[in-house]
Amino acid sequence: MSRRGFRLTRRRSVLAVTGAAVALAVAACSGGDTGSGDDDVQSLDPDEVSGEITVWSWSTNASDLADLFMEEYPNIEVEMVDPGGGTTTMERLLTAFQSGSGAPDVAMMEYNFIPQFALTGDIIPIDDLGGAEIIDDYIDSIANQLTVNDQVYGTPIDASPMAFLYRADILEEAGVEPPTTWDEFADAAARLQEHDAGTYLANNPIADGSLRNLLWQTGQSPIAIDGENITIDYDRPEYQQVLGYWQRLAEEGVTGDFPSGSPEWNAAMADGTLAGWIGPAWAPVILGSAAESSAGEWRVAQMPTWEEGERASAEWGGSAYTVTSQSDNPEAAAAYVTWVNHAPEAYELLYELTGSFPVLTEYVEDPDFVAEPFEFFGGQPVNQVFAEELQAVPGNWQWSPFNSMVNQVTDEAFTALREGEMTPDEATSLIQEELVAYAAEQGFSVNE
C-alpha cells in the first residue's frame, strides 16, 4: 500500500517533552554564556564535600559501588534506591520532574534521554563540577551522547557496541563464512536457508527493535541540536538503503521475525533456529541464559558493513549517571557521578561485578582486557572484537530531545515497511514529515 492515505498516529508518549517545558528550555538556550571557565570550577576534594545524597539506579551491584565511594568520600552519605528497572525509573523521573519535587540527587538514565532532560533543565551540566576534566577520557562516541550544546550532562556507565554473534558449528556445517559486508550477509542468509530451511542467520532488526541503531552505522546523524535550533534529516538515501535492505530480506524470508526477548525468540536462540544475532556487547549475558546448551559454539565477528574493508559499527543501549536540578547538594552529587564512573578502583569493581563493557579509553585499549578468553565463545577473546567495534562507532550521533516520539514514529513506519505497506522512500519521508511537525509544535526552530 502507498503512504497515500497512511498516516502515523501522533500520540503523546508518556515520556514526551511537554511543549511548555521545551519552549522555556529553548528560550534559555538562546541567551547567555554557557561556557565554563577555570575560575568557576568547584573543588570536589573528599575533605571539602559533605552531606547526604540519594541515587536512583537499576544497575546491578550499584550499592557495592556506593559503599566504595563512601570509603573515598567519608563525609558523604549515599542512599541507594532501585526504582525498578529502566522504564519504571524513567516514568518516576518524569513524574518528579513535572511536579517539581521528588527527584533524586543522582539519576541513572539511558543515553537517549539525556538531550530531552538537559533541554528541559531537569538535569544540570557538570562541566564546572569535574565533568569537563574527565569527559575526554571516554570513547568519543560515548562522550558525544553526554554532551548537549557543548555542555557535559553526566558520566557514562557502560558501552554497547554492536557486532555479529553467531553459531560457528551451524555456519560451518552449511559451508557459510561469517560475512563482513551486508552483501555477503544477504548471500549467507540465503545459503543457510537453502541448506536448512527454517534456520536463519539472524533475526531481522525490524523485529529486534534495532533498526534505528543500524542507521547510526551509516555515519549520518538524523538529529543535530544547536541552541534553540534543531536539524532533522531522516529523508536521506543512506537511510533508505538500510531500510530497503532489511525490507528485502524480510520479504525473501531469509531473516527471522521473532519479537525481541519473547519466549519464541529465546527458544529460537536455544535450538539454533536463529544461528546469529546482530547484537550489542551485553548480548553475551542474554545468550548465556537463552542459549546455555550451545555454550562453546558461539563466536563474535565484526558487524558487516556497506563497503568492503570498511569498519563501522553502532551502539545499542548504555546508561549514565546525571545530576538533577532538584538536588540540594549538587557538589556531592557530582562527586559521586564523576568518581564512580571514572576512578580506577570503582571502574574495575564495576566490570568485575557486572561485566559491563567499559567506556574509558584506557580500559578499552588495555591488552589484558581485550585478551581475556570467554568459555561461552570457545575461548575467543571477544572483548577484542567489541573494543574494535566501539572505536569504529561514528562519533557524530545525537539523540533527539523528544526521543519517545522518535521511537513511536519510527516503530510504526518500520512495521509498515516490514508488512509491505510502505517503500523505504515513503517511510523516511513520512518519518521526516511527522518529526518536523512535532518539533515545531514543541517550540523548536526546525531546519531540514
pLDDT at residue 354, as a whole number: 87
187 and 308 in a single domain? The answer is: yes
Asked if residue 445 is part of any domain, the answer here is no
Query: Which amino acid appears at position 389 of this protein?
Result: E
Given 315, 338, 353, the domain boundary residue is: 315
pLDDT at residue 37, as a whole number: 42
170 and 293 in a single domain? The answer is: yes
Contact, 342 vs 134, CB < 8 A? Answer: yes
Asked if residue 111 is part of any domain, the answer here is yes
Q: Please tell me whether residue 216 adopts helix, strand or coil conformation.
A: helix
Query: Which amino acid appears at position 189 of this protein?
Result: A
153 and 171 in a single domain? The answer is: no
Model confidence pLDDT, tens digit, residues 300-313: 999 999 999 999 99
Counting the structural domains of the chain, the total is: 2
Asked if residue 180 is part of any domain, the answer here is yes
183 and 107 in a single domain? The answer is: no
Question: Which of these, 312, 320, 310, 289, lies nearest to 159 by C-alpha position?
Answer: 320
101 and 220 in a single domain? The answer is: no
Q: Provide the H-helix boundaries in 280-378.
A: 283-290, 330-340, 344-354, 361-364, 367-370
Asked if residue 385 is part of any domain, the answer here is no
Given 258, 291, 315, the domain boundary residue is: 315
311 and 166 in a single domain? The answer is: yes
Question: Which of these, 225, 224, 242, lies nearest to 233 by C-alpha position?
Answer: 224
Contact, 126 vs 154, CB < 8 A? Answer: yes
| Burial classification of residue 48, based on how many CB atoms lie within 10 Å of its CB (0-12 exposed, 13-18 middle, 19 or more buried) | exposed
415 CB contacts (<8 Å, ≥6 apart)?
Answer: 206
> How far is residue 56's CA from residue 246's CA, in Å, rounded to a whole number?
38
206 and 311 in a single domain? The answer is: yes
- Cα Rg, the chain, nearest whole Å: 22
169 and 283 in a single domain? The answer is: yes
Asked if residue 36 is part of any domain, the answer here is no
pLDDT at residue 43, as a whole number: 63
Asked if residue 202 is part of any domain, the answer here is yes
Residue ranges of E strands in 254-381:
276-280, 298-301, 319-323
Q: How many CA atoms lie within 13 A of 225 on its CB side?
A: 29
> How far is residue 239's CA from residue 400's CA, in Å, rounded to a whole number?
17
Residues in the chain with pLDDT values less than 70? 1-43
> How far is residue 68's CA from residue 73's CA, in Å, rounded to a whole number?
9
Give the C-alpha distances (Å, rounded to integers) separating 422 from 240, 244, 250, 258, 429: 12, 10, 13, 21, 10
Given 253, 281, 315, the domain boundary residue is: 315
Strand 76-81 relative to strand 51-56: parallel, antiparallel, unpaired? parallel
Q: What is the CATH number of the domain that holds 355?
A: 3.40.190.10
> How far is residue 207's CA from residue 108's CA, in Å, rounded to a whole number?
27
298 and 308 in a single domain? The answer is: yes
pLDDT at residue 8, as a whole number: 39
Contact, 402 vs 16, CB < 8 A? Answer: yes
243 and 188 in a single domain? The answer is: yes
199 and 304 in a single domain? The answer is: yes
Locate 59 and state its grid cell. 544497575
pLDDT at residue 210, as a whole number: 96
Asked if residue 440 is part of any domain, the answer here is no
Range of the domain at 184: 162-224+232-315
219 and 282 in a single domain? The answer is: yes
> How far is residue 178's CA from residue 143's CA, in Å, rounded to a whole number?
31
